[in-house]
Amino acid sequence: MTSEALEARRQIEHLLEIHREMSRSRPVEETVCEFLRLVKANSPATWLVYVLCWPRDCDEASACRVIYDGAIHEGSKGAPALLSMFAEDAERFPLVEGGLLSELMAKGAPRIVNDLRIDPDDPGVGHLSGRARSLMGVPIYWEGRITNWSFSFAPEPGAFSDSHVQLALSNGNMVVRSVVQLSMRERVEELNERLEHQLEELGRVQRSMLPQSAPEIDGWRLATSYRPSLHAGGDYYDFTTFPDGRQGIVIADVSGHGAGAAAVMAVMRTILHTLDVTGIDSRHVIGSVNRIVIDSIGRGMFVSAFFAALDVESGDLACVNCGHPPPRLFRGATGEVEPLDGEGLPPLGLAEYAHVPWFECRLAPGDAVVFYTDGITELFDAERRMFGLAGLDRAAARGGPNAIDIIAEIERDVRAHSEHSTDDQTLVVLERRGT
């Protein structure tokens, strides 16, 4: 094998090793150290000067900022250099105007100087006078233009060849992209950790807004279940007692998920509790809530909600459906489950209501109403089969009429159907006790 072929093979092996190591996921400083170790092992260079073209927004830079100036083996110090094209504080690095570096940069092309004589008064590399006899300069590109230069120095003359330039061009431009990607990934992971913490805090605040317990009513039982898909969700339920003596129940689902939905849910709670304090009659609450929601939440968001007002003496349940899945009604006399439905309205926040169509049903002892959000029925398993109303009704029928048992059966079947929900899951069950 000729010397040229041996050299070509050596270059290929070196490139393979560089690319293999740069493909690994590890901290930026470790990546830079490993890169410079490989460069040191395959290059006569002992000193590196890495600069940022200045002004940085000019295609013909007249000066440079020296980002790194040191021995190649001091790898960890090279990390800031390889990220310098994105540095917001580049002005803190030394500015060099004129001299050898500016002369080489002005050429706009790779350069080898194998009989180097450095003026001791050179503004950029005068400190290398008498210590470096060979130089190789290669440009670093970003977004189609030269943003940085890498200058390698060797102590002996004639140290660099065209093959060194080819490797330096390939490696120098490749490692910058690798380091930038790793740095961006580290930044994203850091931001994700901060966001995760903020969502956890938001979730805790949101859960504190939900009723800590269901009201106790003679002859009746209420039970609840709430599982957000993220740390914070858009499902909401609440209870209130109206001035006319009716027990109010509301279940709602804000469009979307996460922080935005949780914020709208908080607005909903504030609205309802404010109306509770003002003593508005149960028959007039819906229009008032809708008007405030329209004024309070951003365009494109809305709230589906189901309102019920229970006369605890007669068992009459007056209902209004604002674009929400109709609750399921378990009839104790037959053991069957049917929809609790009537004329409805669009979701809250979309339009003013010209009139509010209430509808009623009477609950007999042994009856139960299952209020739910669509995160229950629209849950898919691994085979893309939906839990659906059939799954909800089967579980409710097994547990009925006991409110606690109904929730336990639904939760058990939901978990068996899929452990991975992409939506919040909320249940409120109202049971009229007795037979």
Give the tens place of pLDDT for each residue, 49-89. Answer: 989 998 876 666 679 999 888 887 655 455 555 555 555 67
This prediction's pTM? 0.61
The Cα 344–Cα 149 span in angstroms is 69
Quick one: which H or E segment has residue 409? helix 403-417
**Res 76: pLDDT:** 47
Work out the burial of residue 168: count CB atoms within 10 Å of its CB; fewer than 13 is exposed, 13-18 middle, 19 or more buried. Answer: buried
| Residue 240 phi, psi (nearest 5) | -155, 155
pLDDT at 175: 76
Q: Is 211-432 a domain of CATH 3.40.50.300?
A: no
Is there a contact between 139 and 106 (Cβ–Cβ < 8 Å)?
no
Q: Do residues 225 and 288 lie in contact, with contact meaning Cβ atoms separated by under 8 Å?
A: no
Q: Which residues of the chain have pLDDT under 70?
A: 1, 3-8, 11, 14, 22, 57-61, 73-88, 199, 202-203, 205-206, 230-233, 256-260, 274-283, 298-299, 435
Asked if 389 contacts 377 with a C-beta cutoff of 8 angstroms, the reply is yes
Domain ranges of the chain: 3-188, 211-432
Residues 100-155 have pLDDT tens digits of 999 999 888 999 999 999 999 999 999 999 999 999 999 998 888 898 899 999 99
Residues in Cβ contact with 328 at an 8 Å cutoff, skipping those fewer than 6 apart? 337, 338, 339, 340, 369, 370, 372, 389, 392, 393, 396
Q: State the architecture of 3-188 in CATH terms.
A: 2-Layer Sandwich (3.30)
